[in-house]
Amino acid sequence: MTADIATLHSYLAVAAVLVGIGLVGFLSRRNMIVMFLSAETMLQGVSLSLVAWGRFHNDLGGQMLVLFIIALAAAEAAIALALVVTMFVRSGKLDIAAWQDLREADQPPFEEAEFPPEPSDEPTAWPHLAPAGIEPGSSDEKEKYRPAV
């Protein structure tokens, strides 16, 4: 009996952390796609808690509700991606800060702080190789077949 409660507790705890991580991602990330992925993570957490409760109560209702959540998530993703693509066509980037004109009237605008560019992986100076060997010559036979290749 208590084992059942412990199982339920474990599943609900994992679900709570999933919801929390999704919330952090949705609040802090600025890429619209990542924001929607975070929202989907929150949905996953809720689904997990519903399935755990359904198992605890020996009821199929939890699984049914998750089934409808999946269908709803598909509909939500279709609408959200259509909106994201439209907004990308208008502003040219996936940055949600490009739409900050829609904020509350008394909120200060978000200003992009200057920060150094990302260090690139390419070396600053390429090694210099001295030319060596002889240039390969061209034979008549090769020239004869070259246009056919």
| Site residues (CB under 8 A) for another protein, limited to 38-57 | 38, 40-41, 44, 47-48, 51-52, 54-57
- On whether the CB atoms of residues 37 and 25 are closer than 8 A, the answer is yes
Residue 133 CB, shortest distance to another protein, in Å, is 38
**Of these, 82, 99, 103, 142, which contacts another protein (CB under 8 A)?**
82
Kindly report the number of other CB atoms within 10 A of residue 32's CB atom.
21
Residues 95-124 that bind another protein (CB under 8 A): 95-97, 110, 112-113, 115-116, 118
Residues 5-44 that bind another protein (CB under 8 A): 5-14, 16-25, 27-31, 33-34, 36-38, 40-41, 44
